[in-house]
Every structure is written in structure tokens, then in C-alpha cells.
Amino acid sequence: MFSFTKQQQVLDVGSIKIGGQPGQHPTVLFGGLFFKGAPDFQQAKDQLNTMVSISERTGVPGVADFFFRKHDYIEDIIKFIIDQIPDPMPFSVDIQDASIKIEVLQHLHDQGLLSRTIYNSLHIGVTDEEREMLSSNTPSAAITVAFNPKDRSPDGKLEVLETSAHLLDQGLLSIAQSLGIKNLLIDTAALAPGENSGSAIAALPVIKEEYGLPSGCAIHNVVEKSIWLQNLPDALPVVDVASNSDIPLFGGDFVLFGPLKHASFVFPTIAWQDILISEYVESYFGVSPSDRHPRRILMK
Amino acid sequence: MNDQVNTTVIGSYPIPIDLQQLMDSYFHAKSPSWNPVILQAVDDMVTAGVDLISDGQTRDPFLHIFIRGLQGCRIRARAEVIGPILFDAPINTGDLEFVRSFLPRRIKLLGLLIGAHTFSESVVDHFYHDKKQLAFDVADALAQEAHAMEPFVNMISIDEPSYANSFPEYAAELIDRMKRYVRCPIRLHACGDISSIASSVVDLPVDVLSHEFAASPQLFDVFCEYESKKHFCVGVVRSDDAMVEPVSLIHERMMKARDVFGDHIAQFSPDCGLRMLPRKIAFLKLQHLVKTARKMYD
């Protein structure tokens, strides 16, 4: 059970709030929309509608996380966002390649979408060109990945935020600030199975206490990569969904839960967890849940 | 080079880190490997013709390598001590073993240890509030690290750059503690202008004394005053200046060293670690160092 002494930031991104003391606002869930080859927009629309529906029923906010892995289809995916994600609902763009990041940012700017964009992500691989583009086309929020290749511990994650572990000219927090990114979410960087992946969970309360910033991670990735679980095919999806509960339980604010198609399982799981947390933090710390908290919607 | 005089390095070597590659390993849930970086550093040193090389100390600033490895420490904005300093597990042996796996047999390998005094001077101490006690605990922990690295190396170099600013009266005791489990030769590297402490340094319990004579040539005159049976690693190439010295200038410095130290010269090296220089410059400096030494001794 956590209540932080550091004042907690609550970010307003589009129509959702992220952050705060545990139990104050519901956990925000990011579900990935991956496209292999030509995007199947009908399937994407169906999954999006499922997420919106379960989000409304449970009170757990959802954000569609659009993967851009190739230069092809960038304009098509952005058109889909314009058509299917109603303003002011936020969305995130998940991009690894710096040149694709630059192109997508330019399109988002041209379409007037940056005020609803959560940039996924800023990390030690940031290039000069990317920095330049981010400073002129600044998204509303950015997920900063606290991956430190030198140190897998929670301290290592703080270090990369503070100093970039001397791999860049300044720490990731300073870089984000210099680029004018006002809303920062910290991804505590879940590592490969056996590589101290648990430190991503341990780092959640540490980072919230240190900086008061919304924190989360993609802990389900560790499940997905756990070879021993692949030999238990019936259990694998259950463990995958269940793993996401660790994040709010340890004070985290957002969850990158993997494919959006898992929404109908993940949202109720997190709603249940959020209700439980709200019950005990309200009785012990006096933290009241927000108006749209799952406890208010589902426990009337 | 002949067996008596080796070309060598102090420790660090500049290799640009491929951050995209590290991020790719993260995105693919793979453990990031530092081996490609170490490989490049070692390859440069070997290609330049250096006799006694290091692993390049590419992972981190020197202090941080040990801060990460020892219990009781952490890195925030600065390196901090937050509990008793204890040896947990070998810190450098993984890298040294990797280097040994491909290093030609004729090339010797140097193990690098931070000095206990420099460690105690460089951290923010939230636990001991007693610099001497901190230094002795560090020395005890690093003695185990020295023991762990000994099977892989030909010599261990203890790096004490803080001597130039503060020389503790218990310096010799610290070194004795650090080397108590090992039998390989020990080098002490103290850069900067150590003129004021040279009389104490020559009595330290090590086999080789390493100092920067290129940037601080007055040290030649200083050491003339002290009779010592120690061997010397003479810095003859500047590590704080990107100008690549011509062979003629390095030769001049080596000749001066030979006048002062005679048969007591064991090694020629750069003044200090090369990590602050561009890679190309660092490589050329090593090449010129080797070329000059060969001209003198082969």
C-alpha cells in the first residue's frame, strides 16, 4: 500500500488524467495496434471499439498505441487516427526508428494532432535530428524509457533519467525539458526474463517518490518472452493479463499491456485492482477516487 | 619491444557507444552486450602495437565501474556511499575473460583497479563520515576484486589520481591491503603534478610507479632527487591534448626518461587514460608511442 510524500503530478492529456496518488485516478491502459504489411483497418476499428466499450463500462481509461515500423502506410494510419479517435481522446505513437519518428511527427503536426499525441518514446537512443523535430513539433506528452544499459537496478533507472548514465550530454529528464515536452510519463523499462525484470516494478514507487511523475511499464513483455511459460500454453495468456496488475499494486499509473485485442480481459482485471487499491487507500490515507474511477462506476 | 621495456596504456580508451544498438537489444528483450565495444578498444590497442593493453575501460567513468559493482554504493547525480562497502561479486573478470578469449598470446593484459584513497575522495559519503575507515573498507573489498582478476592479467594497475591533490599518510597501508591476495606485479598510477609527494611515492609498496611526464616534465627533475629501486612507467604522450605528438618529440621525452631512470624504465605509456580524446587521435598517439619505443629499443 503506497501513499507518496512527494507531490504527485496529474497530467491532463486529451480527455484523460494520468498520475496522482494511488487510488486517486484509475490506471491508464495502453493497448497496441500492430500492423503487419498492409493495415487491416476494419480489424483495428473493431478492436478499438471493443476497447472504448470496455473502458466506458469499467471506468478504466484506454489509449490506443499505434505502431509505426515502416515508412509505408504512415499517412494511412494517421488518417485512421483522425477518423476513428474522436477529439479530444488521446492516442500514442510507438516508434523505434528515428527516421520514422521524424516523419510521423511532421504528419501529426500537419494534421493538428500533436495536442492529443503521446510520444512513445524518448530514450537514450534519441538522435540530434529527432531532438530538433521534437523541439519544433512537440507532442502533448511523451513516455520516457528509463532503460540503462549499464545498470538494471531501480537506481540505474533513476541514473539514466538524471544523467543518461553519461551516454548522452544530459539526463533524459533534462532533455525532455529542453525540448519543451510538458507532460512526461516514465516507463520503468521491463527487461528480458532473468535480467532483473522485477526491477521495473520495484522502480515504480521509487520514481514516483523521487519525481512525482506518472510511472508505468510493459511488464507483460517479460511474460511474453518467458520461455518456460511458452511450454504452458493454457496458462500463458492468463499470466500475461494478470501480470499487468503488478503495476497499479506498486503505485504505477499506466500499463502498456500489449495487443489491443486483449482489452476485454485486461480492463476488468485492472478495474478490479483499482477498486481494491481505492478501498484501502481511502480508508487508510483518505485518498478519494475521482468521479470516473472504476470504484464509483462499478461499486454503486 | 624487448622484454624489459613495454609499451602500455593507463586504462581507458575512447570507443563511441552505439546507443541505437543498445536500444534495439532492449526492444527485443535481449541483454545488452558490451563485448563489441571492448572488442574495438582492444583491437585498436593491439593494432597500434601496444605490448601491455587494458580492456579499454569503456563501460563507464572509472569510479562508476566500481560503484556499480560494490555493495553499499549507488549512483545518483553523483556517486554515493549509503552503507558498508562490501565485495559482492567480481566486477571486471567478465570483461577480462572475454579479452583473453581472443587476445593474441604475445600481448599482455593489464587489470585496472581504482585506488581506495581516490574512491574515498570521489564519493558523497552518507554512511561512514570517516574518510579513512571508508578507504580501508574499499581497500578490503578491492583486494577481493584483485584476487578475482589475477588469473586473467599480467599486472594490476592501481589508479590514484587523487594523490595529486591529497596524499594520505596511510597510503602504503591501503595499497598493502589491496594487493594482499595477489602475487602479480602491481603498478601504481598517479597522474597530475605529484612533485610535492614524490619523496613518499617512491617508497610505496608497488613494483612500478606510473606518472605523467609529458604534461609535467618537471617531474623528471623531481625524481632525480630521490634514489629509488622502483621501476617506472613513464608517460611520454599527452592525454589532455588532441595534438598528436611527432615521433621526434616522443623520442626526446624517452631519451630524457632514459637519462633519469636508466634501467629502471619498465614501461612507456600515455600520461593518463585516453577516453577524452577522439578515437582516431587516441589511436595515432598510441601508434606514435609504439613506433618511437621500437626505434629506441628494437
Q: Percent of chain A, pLDDT > 90?
A: 96
The nearest CA of chain B is from the CA of A214 a distance in Å of 20
The candidate with the shortest Cα–Cα distance to B25, out of B14, B36, B9, B15, is B36
Conformational region of residue A121, where left means phi above 0, alpha means psi within -120 to 50, and beta covers everything else: beta
Q: For residue B2, is pLDDT > 70?
A: no
Q: Average pLDDT over chain B, rounded to whole?
A: 96
Q: For residue A71, is pLDDT > 60?
A: yes
d(CA A114, CA A104): 10
| Domain membership flag for residue B288 | yes
Q: What is the CATH number of the domain that holds A55?
A: 3.20.20.20
Decide: A278 and A23 in contact? Cβ < 8 Å.
yes
Q: What is the CATH number of the domain that holds B156?
A: 3.20.20.210
d(CA A243, CA A193): 13
Task: Please give the backbone phi and psi of residue B101, each rounded to the nearest 5 degrees, phi first.
Answer: -65, -20
The candidate with the shortest Cα–Cα distance to A244, out of A267, A212, A278, A277, is A267
Q: For residue A300, is pLDDT > 90?
A: no
* Cis omega (within 30 of 0) for bond into A88: yes
The nearest CA of chain A is from the CA of B284 a distance in Å of 24
| Domain membership flag for residue A5 | no
- Residues B21-74 pLDDT 10s: 999 999 988 888 999 999 999 999 999 999 999 999 999 999 999 999 999 999
pLDDT at B1: 55
Interface confidence (ipTM) of the complex: 0.92
Q: Output the CA torsion A131→A133→A139→A144 (10° steps).
A: -20
Outline where chain B has alpha helix (H).
Answer: 19-27, 35-48, 62-69, 93-102, 116-122, 131-149, 171-178, 198-201, 218-224, 247-261, 279-297
| Domain membership flag for residue B149 | yes
A165 → chain B, closest CA residue: B60
pLDDT at B297: 84
d(CA A124, CA A170): 10
Q: For residue B3, is pLDDT > 80?
A: no
A226 → chain B, closest CA residue: B29
Q: Do A191 and B29 touch (CB under 8 A)?
A: yes
- Residues A4-43 pLDDT 10s: 999 999 999 988 999 999 999 999 999 999 998 899 999 9
Q: Cell numbers at residue A189, please?
A: 523499462
d(CA A219, CA A198): 9
pLDDT at B4: 77
d(CA A183, CA A253): 14
Pairing of strands B208-212, B265-270: unpaired
Q: Cell numbers at residue A296, please?
A: 464509483
In which domain, by residue range, is B35 found? Answer: 6-59+94-116+133-297
d(CA B53, CA B111): 9
Average pLDDT over residues A101-114: 97
Tell me which residue in B26, B30, B76 faces A159 most closely, judged by beta carbons: B76
Evaluated on CA atoms B46, B49, B52, B54, the torsion sign reads negative
Q: Do A221 and B29 touch (CB under 8 A)?
A: yes
The nearest CA of chain A is from the CA of B37 a distance in Å of 13
| Domain membership flag for residue A4 | no
Interface test with A, best of B15, B22, B81 (most A CBs within 10 A): B22
The candidate with the shortest Cα–Cα distance to A154, out of A74, A209, A236, is A209
d(CA B207, CA B186): 5
Average pLDDT over residues B6-31: 94
Average pLDDT over residues B263-288: 97
Q: How many domains does chain A have?
A: 1
Decide: B236 and B211 in contact? Cβ < 8 Å.
no
- Residues A146-184 pLDDT 10s: 999 999 999 999 999 999 999 999 999 999 999 999 999
| Domain membership flag for residue B76 | no
| Domain membership flag for residue B126 | no
pLDDT at A112: 97
In which domain, by residue range, is A167 found? Answer: 10-298
Pairing of strands A10-13, A16-19: antiparallel
| Domain membership flag for residue B146 | yes
| Domain membership flag for residue B74 | no
| Domain membership flag for residue B64 | no
**Run of H or E including B113:** strand B108-114
pLDDT at B77: 83
Decide: B111 and B92 in contact? Cβ < 8 Å.
yes
Query: Among A11-20, B2-11, B137-146, where is mean pLDDT lowest?
Result: B2-11
Residue A233 CB contacts under 8 Å (≥ 6 apart), including other chains: none
Average pLDDT over residues B132-149: 98
Residue A283 CB contacts under 8 Å (≥ 6 apart), including other chains: none
Pairing of strands A16-19, A28-33: unpaired
Decide: A255 and A244 in contact? Cβ < 8 Å.
yes
The neighbour count for residue A128, using CB atoms within 10 Å, is 8
The nearest CA of chain A is from the CA of B22 a distance in Å of 7
pLDDT at B217: 96
B65 → chain A, closest CA residue: A150
pLDDT at B98: 98
Average pLDDT over residues B95-123: 97
- Residues A34-45 pLDDT 10s: 998 899 999 999
pLDDT at B234: 98
Which one-letter amino acid corresponds to residue B76? R
The nearest CA of chain A is from the CA of B35 a distance in Å of 13
CA atoms within 13 A on the CB side of A198: 1
The interface residues of chain A toward chain B in range 132-151, judged by CB-CB distance below 8 A, are 145, 147, 149-151
| Domain membership flag for residue A107 | yes
Q: Do B19 and A158 touch (CB under 8 A)?
A: no
The interface residues of chain A toward chain B in range 18-77, judged by CB-CB distance below 8 A, are none
- In the beta sheet, which residues pair with residue B265? B232
Q: How many domains does chain B have?
A: 1
Average pLDDT over residues A88-108: 96
Interface test with A, best of B22, B26, B82 (most A CBs within 10 A): B26
| Domain membership flag for residue B89 | no
